[in-house]
Amino acid sequence: MTETAGSTAQTTEPVYTEETDPYCIADDAAVEMLHGAPWHRIALIGDSTAFGAGDPSPGYREMYWAPRVVQVLERAVGEVEFLNVGRMNATTAQVIDEQLDAALEFGPDLLYVAAGGNDLWADEPDYAASERNLDRIFAAGRNDGARLATMTIADAVPEHIPALRPFRARIDELNKVIRRVADRYDAILTDLWWHPVGHRPTVMSVDNIHFNISGHAVVAAEVVKSLATAARTY
């Protein structure tokens, strides 16, 4: 609901469940999409996106995006080993210092990188430093023989919170960095910036920073699509 002086405007958002959400993919369909995919050892590194922050959503299974993807991939290809070393509040520099070695020691055939957002909390974000850090991460993964995958951050900054509005431009700039690095390393990119789910008034957790579980369900669907497309051209 948006209110202005002397008037009240209301917008009605459909109430979705996982079964009716037009941006979700049923498990059986996702399994079919990933049939024959080549990945059996997946390491995930990054920040809260990797860690899996998000409030429950009525009508959606309490499962964040990464386990959803791994679950359907297991049904599609057989046993899958999954390591997640992501943590809340990690910057790209901290991903290098605290997570990268453990992920590479795991020997992944797919290294998923979900990082960068916490670099934006500085008074003046250093986008060049973020790009150098992501380059180091991606180069290490490629040198270790892993296929690389990543995602941009959705355009989901709440309009009604003035303190967060400057972050929209910051996220846009960071996403340009992520796209450049992904392109240099031929990484599988799930580009969420333009996805309509970011503008759903019901998609954010109470902290107004992280998607709730309904958002995770949609992210999982988009990741499945990206992986399926890459698997067909592997």
Tokens of 78: 């057989």
DSSP class per residue in 23-78: T---HHHHHHHHTT----EEEEEESHHHHT-----TTS-S--HHHHHHHHHHHHHS
What pLDDT was estimated at residue 161? 79
Domain count, the chain: 1
Quick check: is 130 in a domain? yes
Token couple for 140:
């290490």
Cβ-contact 133, 177 below 8 angstroms = no
Domain containing 222 equals 21-232
Q: How far apart are CA 115 and CA 130, in angstroms?
A: 9
Q: What is the pTM of this model?
A: 0.93
Whether residue 185 lies inside any domain: the answer is yes
Does 191 fall in a domain? yes
DSSP state of 154: P
Residue 171 domain-assigned (yes or no): yes
What pLDDT does 163 receive? 77
To 5 degrees, how large is the angle CA 178–CA 124–CA 116?
Answer: 25
Question: What pLDDT, on the 0 to 100 scale, is given for residue 6?
Answer: 38
**According to the model, what pLDDT value does residue 183 have?**
98
Q: Is residue 196 part of a domain?
A: yes
**What's the pLDDT at 94?**
98
Q: Is residue 205 part of a domain?
A: yes
The position carrying tokens 């049923």 is 26
Whether residue 3 lies inside any domain: the answer is no
| Residue 49 belongs to a domain | yes
CB of 100 closer than 8 Å to CB of 133 = no
Type of residue numbered 11: T
Residues 183, 200: Cα–Cα separation, whole Å: 29
CB neighbour list of residue 212: distance below 8 Å, 6 or more residues apart? 54, 55, 56, 57, 202, 203, 204, 205
Note the pLDDT of residue 11: 53
Domain containing residue 84: CATH number: 3.40.50.1110
Residuewise pLDDT in 10s, the chain (234 residues): 233 333 334 456 789 999 999 999 999 999 999 999 999 999 999 999 999 999 999 999 999 999 999 999 999 999 999 999 999 999 999 999 999 999 999 999 999 999 999 999 999 999 999 999 999 999 999 999 999 999 999 999 877 778 788 899 999 999 999 999 999 999 999 999 999 999 999 999 999 999 999 999 999 999 999 999 999 987
